[in-house]
A and B are shown apart, each in its own frame.
Chain A
């Protein structure tokens, strides 16, 4: 089994926090993994992505070959489309519905939704609304991780365990907000 995930978003949206939780859970479950990420210039509001590979045998390439991603998990809808060439025909797209508009020529968002729907199986999540409901707009990334948790080859409990560890230093309340965000995302993806 090899499960390939493209994490996508805009610099500053917290995709590395998603990656942290998945990485740690994968290690706890004895899986091999490799995760390539972007630092430096692109983090300044540019398109960012992380290639994440989970497997029960050794994985080598730090980048996912085109056409071999099982999942695109995007914190931003336009960014989900940027990596379609990586997706398997039977792959899944899970994306936030909330556009992050920091460019003058952002495509009309309805067209973006339609284009995602034209692709393979997809789930669009009201990440901003659910994050607010959980207690903080900053928790959109954990909403998205919750939605993806239905598809990832990892146990829900393990993911939650490392969310707790990730946010522990920020206090009890931040931990709870993020766990709730995860839960709301998971429920939303079930519908």
Chain B
């Protein structure tokens, strides 16, 4: 078949379709969003399979698990921190096991391109004791995703795919294989395996532990784990995982004496192959994108007596941030080029910022003014375009931790003496994880003000649909028990500045729970609507 140009994300999505996908679920988050966007765009969507954005990652994971229980192949995808949200069903899905093939895609963001941390999802795979596959390139993203569906059904377990930003968001040609259909006449999962009462759960966990040797066996024989001997005379070796392989290969031909290397694409990793590599060498360099996951295993507490281990834990490679060709060249003891310099020319930074005319800017201006005169105030915020309100010229918010944390932190803050305690959260983030803490605050009638920035979309990740927007959001808030007199709506526009500042001021002064909806559509989607 012809080659197709695909993002790493899209290669995973297409492989899922070709594997006989029946249902896919996700919540938007960089760098994983393009998986679901691709699935939704394809003509098979709605006909051959279901592909849906969900209200959050936990829900997405559980919906996929339900489809797997029903005997169909399902996929759930999210960014790395999304897996934290989905961790409860994720961990337990390893115990219930999978019926129809179940693939969990977690896209890590080393280098913090668009995230609040750079946690490494491989630990989650290990934690749950399931297989985690890590493609090095686009072709492997396709091939390993297809393999993941097979393995999931073979072992009766969910299988995880770990991506990183540079693979998720780069494009290359991919050769695809013959698609297959969905599971025909599937049987439901066996009830006692899926009902995790302690007696069942204990039995299932024993079965999961028993499976480990099969997973290790698979890793040992998997062709994607490649052991390559070194040139005669070489006593050094390299372990490369996932994307790191590419930087290593980029420089391989420049190495005077080729080292032995082990390329790792699966976790559990191939221990026997690793031991075979170690036998041949005196010095080992471990190159991984993310945390020093393999390196830590190899070092243990005693290291490799008589041998040198180099990697992220001894400073050969920086412990944080993304790999670059320069970092890897240096780790391989190759000269690093420097390129041209602009000398002492002053190059100003150009950080991201709110679009000119963004509704959030008007809300922040009014909020800043309304807060003047208070000296124990704090604005807790959340995750979305509006987090950029932390930067000048607004400097309007003081926190951003995780989805929904603005509301819960504002409550905790208020109860510890913050006044006014303000939460600022987007409509989609509110639906994701803001509802439950607001319910909590209703129960206590906490003295705080929640501002919901309702721009009608998930703007930061590319305008996916939002669940909690418009009139249904108003009804939801009333239903949740918000006092009608303290549920206010403002239209954040420059001409309404005085009016909006006044309304915010009134609600800050009220000693109880208030919710203000700042409602105006994101100008990016407004623009798209006008153009189309």
Contacts and interface: CB of A to CB of B under 8 A. Distances in A.
B337 A68 contact: yes
B29 to A, nearest CB: 9
Interface string B327-343: 00100000011111110
A87 B348 CA distance: 20
Interface string B110-137: 0001100000000000000000000001
B5 A36 contact: no
Contacts of A45: 350, 352-355
A120 to B, nearest CB: 7
Nearest to B325: A65
A1 interface: no
Contacts of B354: 44-45
Contacts of B339: 66-69, 84-88
Contacts of B394: none
A28 to B, nearest CB: 10
Contacts of A35: 170-172
Contacts of B297: none
Given A27-B5, A44-B388, A62-B167, A33 B172 contact: yes
Count class of interface residues, chain B: 35 or more
B325 A64 contact: yes
B350 A47 contact: yes
Interface in A1-55: 10-11, 19, 23-24, 27, 32-47
B460 A24 contact: no
A37 B170 contact: yes
Given A34-B171, A46-B353, A85 B250 contact: no
B345 A81 contact: yes
Interface in B223-249: 243, 245-247, 249
Given A39-B30, A41-B352, A66 B171 contact: no
Contact of B348 (A19, A27, A106): A106
Contacts of A85: 338-341
A41 B340 CA distance: 28
Interface residues of A, number: 53
B353 A62 contact: no
B453 to A, nearest CB: 15
A41 B324 contact: no
B165 to A, nearest CB: 9
A60 B338 contact: no
Contacts of A81: 342, 345, 347
Contacts of A86: 339
A142 interface: no
A115 interface: yes
Contact of A62 (B5, B170, B348, B461): B170
| Residue with the highest number of chain A CB atoms closer than 10 Å, among B171, B341, B342, B462 | B171
Given A39-B34, A44-B388, A66 B345 contact: no
B3 interface: yes
B418 to A, nearest CB: 28
Given A38-B113, A81-B342, A27 B173 contact: yes
B18 interface: no
Contact of A37 (B171, B342, B385): B171
B326 interface: yes
A66 B113 contact: no
A41 B345 contact: no
A42 B351 CA distance: 7
Given A44-B353, A45-B353, A66 B170 contact: no
A40 B346 contact: no
Contacts of A88: 339
B310 interface: no
A24 B30 contact: no
B505 interface: no
A67 B325 contact: no
B211 interface: no
B34 to A, nearest CB: 7
Contacts of B169: 36-39
A66 B337 contact: yes
B166 A63 contact: yes
A87 to B, nearest CB: 5
A79 interface: yes
B351 A46 contact: yes
B31 interface: yes
Contacts of B34: 39
Interface in B247-284: 247, 249-250
B345 A63 contact: no
A47 to B, nearest CB: 4
Interface string B456-475: 00001110000000000000
A71 B385 CA distance: 33
A94 interface: no
Interface in B172-195: 172-173
A102 B393 CA distance: 12
Interface in B373-402: 385, 388
A65 B251 CA distance: 10
B355 to A, nearest CB: 6
B113 A40 contact: yes
| Residue with the highest number of chain A CB atoms closer than 10 Å, among B245, B250, B354 | B250
Shortest 4 CB-CB contacts between residues of A and residues of B: A40-B114, A67-B337, A40-B30, A46-B352
6 contacts: A27-B5, A38-B113, A39-B169, A45-B353, A46-B351, A111-B345
Given A36-B166, A37-B170, A107-B345, 19 more contacts: A11-B352, A33-B173, A40-B113, A41-B388, A44-B355, A47-B349, A60-B137, A61-B249, A65-B337, A66-B325, A66-B336, A66-B338, A79-B350, A84-B341, A85-B339, A86-B339, A89-B340, A102-B356, A119-B340
